[in-house]
Chain A
Amino acid sequence: MIQVYNLNKSYQKDSSAVRDLTLKVAKGEFVYITGPSGAGKSTLLKLLFAAEKPSRGQILINGQNLTRMNGKKIALMRRRLGVVFQDFKLINSRSVFENVAFPLEIQGKKRYEVSNKVYQVLKLVGLEHKIKRYPLELSGGEQQRIAIARALVIDPLVLIADEPTGNLDPDNTCEVMELFKGANARGTTVLLATHDRDIIRRFPRRVLTLDQGRLVRDLTP
């Protein structure tokens, strides 16, 4: 599903955020990306959903080379990726329904299709009763569940999450992790960056450890 070859990303001349990274993630896998702060976890994820361009190397997702895509093709590729962030990145001026419906609207889906799908996915994350609320009226955990719903509403090939539990308490962390496990069980490949060892212990899966931009360990339980 995901193939990364000799990936490098430098922001400055003599320091690299990601160095000579090569890895493969199979379809349907659940992979943690971990490491200390500044290890390059977020940079790697940004490279995977093309928010950043690599300095060198190749990224293939579902057989398509991300590094050779123009703006429009990148946009079309992102329609098959679900992305979740630590800070949720919800649009505060839009209701829960509108936030979750946004990716489907962009894909030009019909209105009844959008409504059905949004309701289903909100039910999945347990927030169907908050459909008319606005993000700032919800708790942090609820906002993250809305962000996950927005990522899942398109039935993504890959779900990319950057520290999704970073702002959450232990109860909400568990709920959010159950949602990722559920998505993975339904066949979605999940890539989750975290530095929280407790999560990895409680939900053991393949772990890629980065340090100073290099892949230093690849462990499968």
Chain B
Amino acid sequence: MRRVIYFLLRALRNMRQSPFLCSAAISTVTVALVILAFFALIVINVQQLTRHWSRDVQVVAYFDHPPASPVLDRQLSRIRQYPEVESVAYISPRQAFKRFQVRLGDDADLLQGMANDFLPAALEVRLTEKYRNSAGVQRVVERLRRNKSFADLRYGQEWLERFEAFLGLLRTAGLVLGGFLLFAALFIVSNTIKLTLYARREELEVMALVGGTPAFIKAPFLLEGALQGALGGLFALLTSFLFFSMVLKEDLGRLLLASGLGKISFLPPHWQILIVLLGCLLGLFGSLFSLRKFVRI
């Protein structure tokens, strides 16, 4: 414990003794993580948007003739038991007519003179989140096809495929860009820390000469790197939050709200912890990579 306190005190003293280099390292981590946080912020909100869109994934099964009440109840309870199904709603011809009227808006008078039951009765099958994809829809469609009561099934296959391709692109872009940003951040942070170690090379040399073990020499510098990284992570969170509140919330909000998303949110708590942790790891590994060059016994 005495050693840990000693290392911590030395790390803090090192930071106090070289305020410029310390600020440079913290700023580098901050900038790198602000970029990463923004990227995460956009990806998370777009993912939220796609989740919102995916709620529209449903299968509509049209009846030949409106079913009698016991038949309908039987159909409903059977479909509700499918594991892919979240809810099933019966739309009578009259309900369908009313919806159509609403959808036509000012042109609703086109329907004048038509019987209010000319549209087919249908079942609207909504899927659980896990199955709101092409494969899930196919499974439900196959089950419904075996049911001879339905004249037609509609499920927007093309839209679904495009939607899935978009999600795939988003995921890949997220992974590639996120990974690239992280690597770039590690590279920059490691080089900045290398500069701070270069400035202290005499100290490292003396430590080795007077009998410091490799672990003893490295520990305070690793701790210093981790502390600087964590501070950088905290500053990055603060900066991102300020920028998010003042600028991004409005701009990104306008874009995403127009696409139907209810609200724009900042990084969730586990992401905030992740950013600080990432800063800590960046500092730690940045120091570790640099120390390998400077500490040789």
The residues of A with any CB-CB pair to B shorter than 8 Å are 49-51, 71-72, 74-79, 81, 83, 89-94, 102-103, 105-108, 150, 154
Does B115 interact with chain A (Cβ within 8 Å)?
no
Fill in one digit per residue for B205-216: 1 if any A CB lies within 8 Å of its CB, else 0: 111111111111
Chain B, 222-255, CB within 8 A of any chain A CB: none
Task: Tell me which residues from 104 to 121 in chain B have a Cβ below 8 Å from any Cβ of chain A.
Answer: none
Chain B nearest CB, measured from A73 CB (Å):
9
A74 to B214, CA, bound (A): 10
**Residues of the A chain whose Cβ atoms lie less than 8 Å from the Cβ of B208:** 75, 78
Quick one: given A102-B210, A106-B216, A108-B3, are A74 and B205 in contact (CB under 8 Å)?
no
Q: Is the CB of A71 within 8 A of B213?
A: yes
Nearest neighbor of A90 in chain B, beta-carbon distance: B206
> Is B211 in contact with A105, judged by CB distance below 8 angstroms?
no
Please report the C-alpha to C-alpha distance between residue A107 and residue B210 in the assembled complex, in whole angstroms. Answer: 9
**B2→A108 contact, CB < 8 A:** yes
Which residues from A are CB-within-8-Å of B206? 89-91, 102
Q: How far is the CA of A53 from the CA of B109 in the complex (A)?
A: 97
- Whether the pair B3, A71 counts as a contact (CB closer than 8 A) is no
Residue numbers of B with Cβ under 8 A of A are 2-3, 6, 17-18, 202-203, 205-216, 297
Contacts of B297 in A (CB 8 A): 50, 71, 74-75
Distance between Cα atoms of A50 and B210 in the complex (Å): 12
Q: Are A72 and B213 in contact (CB under 8 A)?
A: yes
* Shortest beta-carbon distance from A149 to chain B in Å: 12
Q: B residues within 8 A CB of A50?
A: 297
Interchain CB contact under 8 A, A79 and B211? yes
- For A92, the chain B residues whose CB sits under 8 A away are 202
* Interchain CA distance A93-B15 in the complex, whole Å: 12
Q: Which chain A residue lies CB-closest to B296?
A: A71
B113 to chain A, nearest CB (A): 94
For this complex, 13 residue pairs linking A to B, each with C-beta atoms less than 8 Å apart, are: A51-B209, A71-B297, A72-B215, A76-B211, A77-B211, A78-B208, A83-B210, A91-B203, A93-B18, A106-B211, A107-B211, A108-B3, A154-B211
Contact B17–A75 (Cβ < 8 Å): no
In-complex Cβ contact of A49 among B17, B209, B214 (8 A): B209
Q: How far is the CB of A146 from chain B (nearest CB, A)?
A: 12
Tell me, in angstroms, the Cα distance from A108 to B17 when the chains sit together: 22
Complex contact A89–B207 (CB within 8 A): no
- Determine the distance from Cα of A49 to Cα of B202 in the docked complex, in whole angstroms: 17
Q: Do B211 and A75 touch (CB < 8 A)? A: yes
Contact indicator A93/B212 (Cβ below 8 Å): no
Answer whether A103 and B202 are a contact pair too, CB < 8 Å, given A74-B297, A108-B2, A108-B3. Answer: no
Supply 17 further A-B pairs (C-beta < 8 A) apart from A71-B214, A106-B207, A108-B2.
A72-B213, A72-B214, A72-B215, A75-B208, A75-B212, A76-B211, A78-B208, A78-B210, A81-B211, A91-B203, A94-B203, A103-B211, A105-B6, A106-B210, A107-B211, A108-B3, A154-B211
A51, A92, A106 interface centre (most CB from chain B within 10 Å): A106
- Find the B residue at minimum CB distance from A105: B6
A144 to chain B, nearest CB (A): 15
Question: A83 CB to closest chain B CB, in angstroms?
Answer: 6
Asked if A75 and B202 sit within 8 Å, CB to CB, the answer is no
Instruction: Give Cα A154–Cα B205 distance, bound, in whole angstroms.
Output: 18
B280 to chain A, nearest CB (A): 26
Find out whether the CB atom of A103 lies under 8 angstroms from the CB atom of B210. yes
Given A105-B6, A108-B2, is A75 in contact with B205 using a C-beta cutoff of 8 Å? no
* Residues in B neighbouring A90, C-beta threshold 8 A: 206
Q: Which of A76, A83, A89, A102 contacts B213 (CB 8 A)?
A: A76
Interface pair A93/B216, CB less than 8 Å apart: no
Query: Are B205's CB and A78's CB within 8 A?
Result: no
